[in-house]
């Protein structure tokens, strides 16, 4: 650990009954949870706009993507990435 971080951990341990490992795990859990909330908001935004990933994919397959406007395809890629990252973060939380 960097000396500044180590100093801060020692100061926290002087005030709170917590180990350095517990502080680290709590920090990981907090950051992971914050990111999950952000991703769930993105998922809800896309769900409100398109219904489901399957609906969006069917729209693209049926109507295509205009060469001048790739928003549908970009949204599909974003939504897939959101689902992929959410799954990875949930596995991470379960491992904590």
Residues sharing a CB contact under 8 Å with residue 12, sequence separation 6 or more, in sequence order? 18, 23
**Residues of the domain holding 67:** 3-95
Q: What's this model's pTM, rounded to 2 decimal places?
A: 0.84
The values of phi and psi at residue 67, to 5°, are: -60, -30
Average pLDDT over residues 3-28: 91
Q: Which residue has the tokens 């990252």?
A: 85
pLDDT computed for residue 78 by the predictor: 97
Q: Where does residue 56 rank: exposed (0-12), middle (13-18), buried (19+ CB within 10 A)?
A: buried
- In the 8-state DSSP scheme, what is residue 67? T
- pLDDT-derived band at 96 (thresholds 50, 70, 90) equals confident
* Number of independent structural domains in the chain: 1
pLDDT in tens, 43-91: 999 999 999 999 999 999 999 998 899 999 999 999 999 999 999 999 9
8-36 burial string, b = 16+ CB within 10 Å, else e? ebeeeeeeeeeeeeeeeeeeeeeebeeeb
pLDDT in tens, 23-46: 999 999 999 999 999 999 999 999
């Amino acid at each position: 650990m960097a000396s500044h971080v180590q100093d801060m951990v020692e100061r926290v341990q002087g005030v709170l009954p917590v180990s350095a490992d517990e502080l680290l795990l709590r920090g990981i859990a907090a950051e992971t949870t914050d990111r999950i909330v952000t991703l769930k908001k993105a998922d809800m935004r896309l769900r409100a706009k398109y219904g489901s990933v399957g609906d969006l994919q069917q729209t693209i397959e049926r109507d295509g993507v205009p060469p001048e406007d790739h928003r549908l395809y970009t949204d599909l890629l974003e939504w897939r990435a959101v689902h992929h990252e959410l799954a990875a973060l949930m596995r991470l939380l379960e491992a904590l």
